[in-house]
A and B are shown apart, each in its own frame.
Chain A
Amino acid sequence: MLNIQSVDKVYPNGTRALDRVGLNVEQGEIVAVVGGSGCGKSTLLRLVAGLDPATRGRVELDGETISAPHECVGLIFQEPRLLPWLTVAGNVGFGISHLPKAKRERIVGEVLLRVGLADYAERWPRELSGGQAQRVAIARALAPRPKVLLLDEPFSALDAFTRASLHEHVLDLWRAFKPTLVLVTHDVEEAAYLADRVVVMRPRPGRISSVFELDLKRPRDRYGPELEAAKRRILNALDQSLRERTAGDELVPAAAI
């Protein structure tokens, strides 16, 4: 239902951030996009979010071209980006302000309950820890029940245990509302734990190196052998992606001797 059709993204200074990137995402799928820094994964996400335009090619959601932020697409940023002048409830209800008050408050209550912050509705963002703030950001993105939820390295700034806790929250919300998730991450374990499919990108210019299914049933054992195997598979693919050379790439100096 989400079609990324051969998109290019070239910045005014000539940097080719994305080069003929194409991807199809099915309804309700969880796709993880991994790759080293500079591979264009965040750029790709911003294109799908409608925040930046593609230089060439297009993104389609159920046949509709995305050229600006779409009501069925939500985005969770790397930082929580909560609005400091609104309470937690105010923040969560920010995207559904067009709904009547009673309905809005009900949805806010439900979604806060799901992320485990039901008692925090009247708190200010400055009173929250990093993990709590990110949970509020997740609740805010999900309140309008988007069809597609984009996550741009949302847990990279958190400690391992908080990250694991938030993985569970995301999976719980995914089971409840069944959005399509596109998760950009540099954490291989996170990709292995959450994703149905993994897209490996490589830099200079940004393009897709490989795509593969993980074929693991949920709930996944974070410390089990299947997950270890999946992690190894992703790491190999990453390694492989960095070895690929296309015409014009410079040889590693030692190999040129």
Chain B
Amino acid sequence: MSVMDAIQERDAAQEAASPVTSVPVAKSRFGAKFALGILLPVALAAGWEIAVASGLAQGRLMPPPSRLFKTLYDLAITGELWRHIFATLARVAAGFALGTIVGTLVGALAGASRLAKDIVDPTLQGLRSVPSIAWVPLFILWLGIFEESKIALIAVGCFFPVYLGVFGAIASVDRKTVEVGRMFRLSQFQLVRRILLPAILPAYILALRQGLGLGWMFVVAAEFMGASEGLGYLLVDGQQLGKPDQILAAILTFAILGKITDGLLAAASAPLLTWQDAFAPKN
């Protein structure tokens, strides 16, 4: 048989022998992970409950979990909780959308064009150093005390991690990969769309999640500026009326919502990252 036939036979045998390795997601493994994760908060809550119930600790400033859940339940029943959640969620969503879109565009521009970077980056790095709360009085003066100023503040908070994430990731794309694009004569725009943006996708998702986390932080600051509804409003109201259970209920709700939204973002982006050959163990 010819050399070519021999080679093809060997190739076929090799392909038959090398199966695709993929890691199946074990349901039991996920359950164990969840149990471990919830262990610490549950233990602390149970411990505190017992301490207050047995009179070892005073439950006035730090209410026991049972009172906390009752407060949450009352708020939920009257529909109050949902009204506040929706208000806060809407602000976070709008600010996040605005901040990430602008952050992505400016980051991509600075990453792709040396001139743009030299013009834009020094100013942005300077602005980044401004403590976020310092923007509050300015935005109130410029945009009023209603939704616009709050959304602007949240957008500023989301902007910087996304901008830095996109820009930094583009700058660290391997030259070797970019050269593949150059050999196929991609225009600047095509280079960004077909090579740079997909290459930075993992880092970009991380930057989005960071932005989202900051968005949740900033919404509190925004709602402190004078809101009549929202979880941040519940915090201020709870402080002014001396209701620690309301404050803690709002904090708990923040934590849960933050975790849920982050989880949704991670889950939605996971299928886009199946190609990754990274160190992080899956699940």
Q: Contact residues of A with B, CB < 8 Å?
A: 49, 51, 68-71, 74-75, 77, 79, 81, 83-86, 94-95, 116-117, 119-120, 123-127, 129, 165, 168-169, 172, 219
A85 touches B275 (CB 8 A): yes
Q: Offer 28 A-B interface pairs, CB within 8 angstroms, sorted by A.
A: A51-B182, A68-B185, A69-B182, A69-B183, A69-B184, A75-B183, A77-B180, A81-B176, A83-B180, A83-B198, A85-B201, A85-B275, A86-B275, A94-B194, A95-B184, A116-B11, A117-B15, A120-B15, A124-B274, A124-B275, A124-B277, A125-B277, A126-B277, A127-B21, A129-B18, A165-B10, A168-B7, A219-B3
Q: Contact residues of B with A, CB < 8 Å?
A: 3-4, 7-8, 10-12, 15, 18, 20-21, 176-177, 179-180, 182-185, 194-195, 198-199, 201, 274-277
Q: How far is the CB of B260 from chain A (nearest CB, A)?
A: 28
- A168-B176 in contact given A49-B183, A125-B275, A129-B18 (Cβ < 8 Å): no
- A127-B20 in contact given A69-B184, A77-B179 (Cβ < 8 Å): yes
Highest count of chain B CB atoms <10 Å: which of A71, A125, A126: A126
Q: How far is the CB of B250 from chain A (nearest CB, A)?
A: 41
B4 touches A172 (CB 8 A): yes
A123 touches B20 (CB 8 A): yes
Contacts of B21 in A (CB 8 A): 127
Shortest Cβ-Cβ A-B pairs, 4 listed? A126-B277, A116-B11, A85-B198, A95-B184
Q: How far is the CB of A63 from chain B (nearest CB, A)?
A: 19
Contacts of B11 in A (CB 8 A): 116, 165
Contacts of A84 in B (CB 8 A): 275-277
A83 touches B184 (CB 8 A): no
CA distance A58 to B3 in the complex (A): 40
CA distance A127 to B176 in the complex (A): 20
Contacts of B10 in A (CB 8 A): 165
CA distance A257 to B234 in the complex (A): 92
CA distance A49 to B180 in the complex (A): 11
B8 in complex: contacting residue of A69, A116, A129, CB < 8 Å = A116
Contacts of B274 in A (CB 8 A): 124
Contacts of A169 in B (CB 8 A): 7
Main secondary structure of the interface of B (DSSP, over half): helix
CA distance A79 to B180 in the complex (A): 11
CA distance A123 to B21 in the complex (A): 11
Contacts of B8 in A (CB 8 A): 116
CA distance A12 to B160 in the complex (A): 37
Known A-B contacts: A69-B185, A77-B176, A83-B195. Give 13 more (CB < 8 A): A68-B185, A77-B179, A77-B180, A79-B176, A83-B199, A85-B275, A124-B275, A124-B277, A125-B277, A126-B277, A127-B21, A168-B3, A168-B7
Contacts of B177 in A (CB 8 A): 81, 83
A51 touches B3 (CB 8 A): no
CA distance A120 to B275 in the complex (A): 15
Q: How far is the CB of A25 from chain B (nearest CB, A)?
A: 19
Contacts of B183 in A (CB 8 A): 49, 51, 69, 74-75
CA distance A184 to B3 in the complex (A): 24
Q: How far is the CB of A45 from chain B (nearest CB, A)?
A: 12
CA distance A75 to B176 in the complex (A): 12
CA distance A38 to B167 in the complex (A): 35
Contacts of A85 in B (CB 8 A): 198-199, 201, 275
A71 touches B185 (CB 8 A): yes
Highest count of chain A CB atoms <10 Å: which of B11, B177, B183, B198: B183
CA distance A119 to B11 in the complex (A): 11
CA distance A195 to B149 in the complex (A): 71
Contacts of B182 in A (CB 8 A): 51, 69
Q: How far is the CB of B227 from chain A (nearest CB, A)?
A: 42
A126 touches B275 (CB 8 A): yes
Q: How far is the CB of A184 from chain B (nearest CB, A)?
A: 15
Q: How far is the CB of B276 from chain A (nearest CB, A)?
A: 7
B176 touches A165 (CB 8 A): no
Q: How far is the CB of A137 from chain B (nearest CB, A)?
A: 9
Highest count of chain B CB atoms <10 Å: which of A85, A124, A172: A85
Contacts of B4 in A (CB 8 A): 168, 172
Q: How far is the CB of B100 from chain A (nearest CB, A)?
A: 20
CA distance A215 to B195 in the complex (A): 43
Contacts of A77 in B (CB 8 A): 176, 179-180
CA distance A119 to B3 in the complex (A): 22
CA distance A49 to B179 in the complex (A): 11
CA distance A127 to B18 in the complex (A): 10
Q: How far is the CB of A193 from chain B (nearest CB, A)?
A: 11
Q: How far is the CB of A102 from chain B (nearest CB, A)?
A: 21
Nearest-CB residue, chain B, relative to A87: B275
Nearest-CB residue, chain B, relative to A161: B10
Contacts of A81 in B (CB 8 A): 176-177, 179-180
Contacts of A71 in B (CB 8 A): 185
